[in-house]
Structure formats: structure tokens, C-alpha cells
Amino acid sequence: MADATLRQTLFLSDVHLNDVNPQRQRRLVDFLEKFPDLERLYILGDLFDFWFGYKTVIFRYFFPILWQLYRLQQRGCKIIYVLGNHDFNLGPFFTETIPLRIVESGSTETIYGLNVFVIHGDGLDKGDRGYRLLRFFVRSRPVRRMFQWIHPDLGWMMARLLSRSSKKYTGWKNIDKEKAYVAFGRKKVDQGLDLCIIAHSHLPFFKQFCYTNRQAFVVNLGDWIDHCTFLLLTPGHGPQFFRYRDSDGTFESISPEKINREQSSHVD
């Protein structure tokens, strides 16, 4: 059972907040209220279905979660935001108003003595050329400049269309992505990492790899659309994977799938 009074680092991703499903935002805000003394919060991308960092404007739909993040930070929580494919341009609100630490791609972190690799994960499947081309287009300088100069209301409408296009293209390939992500994570832990955390596919998994002298884990955080899954780290303990049940505000523990691996010559 998760104890929100302990020193903890929390990982979540792929909430996809928007103006159509306000209950999703209320659920996340209520969930974060259960961790008033959280030490670190890692957001592994796509907190928003769309976010563009305008210089003077923020989207009013997101005020509840923005206020919650601000309150967490004021209590001393360190917030680390790994950019996703729906929120890759956070802008001055997240660098000046709520100055978070922003990670543009993958990063190796040391947390409670564990070596942890975090990444959103879009683009990891090298064979998915169609998506990689779409990703290049929406992140290109001309598209960014276009959003900078058009009215935010128009930018919001255009972004929703781009978001739908991305979902239609990538949704049916998520099963194939799991294979690619497990292979990617396994390579990371084979090299000596204790934990590899991936997001993006919306399909949660929690895999434990057993070596001769250690254990390592590969996790996909799932999402907060259908699964409401998250990962917790506490000092002196291994990773714990949970599902949040907003019906009663409790946490359901998810056990890892154990996979035995022969020890590689470059491990340990």
C-alpha cells in the first residue's frame, strides 16, 4: 500500500488533459492532493493533449493542474518534466513562472541510490517511419513559428486537429510499440541500470529482470485515460507500480512480471 507520508518520488505520464474531459483533470488534482510532502514528481510527457508555450498567455482550461503544480513546488517538491509529443514546447510559464527542470529527451537520474533512465518514448520504434516523419513535421521550426504568431484560440483549434491525426496514426500500433519498448528497456538494464521508465504507448507494463547479483526493472507508465497507473520510489525499496482508483481514492498494487536473464559479461 502506498504511504503518502514517506519520502517518495512519483512518476506519471500521458494524462492528455484537454477542454473536453474536465473530470480527468479533477481526478489528477485529487490524486496529487494525497501527496502533500512529495519529494520529486517526474512527468514523462503528454500531461496535456496540447500545450504551446506562448510568451504571455496560458490556456485557462489547465488552471487547476497548474495551480496544483505550483503548490507542490512551493512545498519543496522538485518537478521534472520530460517533454512528450503533445507538449514539446513548454515555454516561459514552465521556465520562469513555475521554473521546472525540463528534460528534452532521455536522461539518466540517480534517485535513492538507484540509476534510473527516464524517457517519453515517442520515436523509439525505428521502424515506424510514418510517425517519425509526422513527429519531425510538428516539431519543425516553421510549425513552431506559425504557432507563435497566430492567435492562441486559432492555435488551440489547429493543435486539436494535429492531436487527432497523431492518435489515429499511432493508436493501432501500440502493441508493436510494447515489443520495441521492452527491447529498449532491456538493453538499458543489461548495461547496468536499475530501472528504465518509458511512456507514450498508454499500455502499462512492469517487468522485472533477474540477474546473478541484482534485479532490474523496465516500466511503461501507461496513461491516465484508461489505466490511471503510476510508479513510486521510496528510499531503501524497489519500484512500486500502482493503479489509482478514483471511485474510492485508493491505490491498487501491480506486481511485476518476472523475467530471468543470464548475466551479461558487462553487467556487475
Please name which of 26, 25, 28, 22 lies closest in space to residue 10, comparing C-alpha atoms.
28
Reported confidence tier of residue 10, pLDDT bands at 50, 70, 90? very high
What pLDDT, in 10s, does the model give residues 82-134? Answer: 998 888 788 889 999 999 999 988 999 999 999 999 999 987 766 555 455 55
Residue 34 domain-assigned (yes or no): yes
- Is a pLDDT exceeding 60 seen at residue 21? yes
Residue 115 belongs to a domain: yes
Say how far apart CA 179 and CA 220 lie, in whole Å.
Answer: 11
The Cα–Cα gap between 112 and 106 comes to 19
pLDDT at position 267: 37
Which domain CATH number covers 26? 3.60.21.10
For the chain, what percent of residues have pLDDT higher than 90?
57
Q: How far apart are CA 242 and CA 245, in angstroms?
A: 9
Reported pTM: 0.86
Is 239 among the domain residues? yes
Compute the average pLDDT of residues 21-35.
95
Residue 264: pLDDT over 50: no
Residues 97 and 56: beta-carbon distance below 8 Å: no
User: For the chain, what is the domain count?
Assistant: 1
Contact 121, 84 (CB under 8 A): no
Instruction: State which residues form the domain around 182.
Output: 9-126+172-260
257-260 and 205-210 strand pairing: parallel
The answer to whether residues 220 and 202 touch, using CB atoms and an 8 Å cutoff, is no
How many whole angstroms separate alpha carbon 160 and alpha carbon 18?
A: 9
The DSSP output letter for 171 is G
Whether residue 138 lies inside any domain: the answer is no
Q: Is there a domain that residue 183 lies in?
A: yes
Going by C-beta distance under 8 Å and a sequence separation of 6 or more, which residues neighbour residue 27?
224, 228, 244, 246
Q: Does residue 207 sit within a domain?
A: yes
Whether 234 contacts 24, CB under 8 Å: no
CA dihedral of residues 125, 127, 129, 135 (deg, nearest 10): 10
For residue 105, what pLDDT is reported?
Answer: 85
Distance (Å) of CA 217 to CA 49, 118, 175, 189: 28, 12, 20, 7
Q: Is the pLDDT of residue 169 over 50?
A: no
Question: Is residue 4 situated within a structural domain?
Answer: no
Per-residue CA distances from 170 to 140, 176, 245 (Å): 19, 10, 27
**Residue 210, beta-bridge partner list:** 215, 260
In a domain, 256, yes or no: yes
- Structure-block grid coordinates of residue 150: 497566430
**Of the ranges 36-40, 118-122, 147-151, 236-240, which one carries the lowest mean pLDDT score?**
147-151
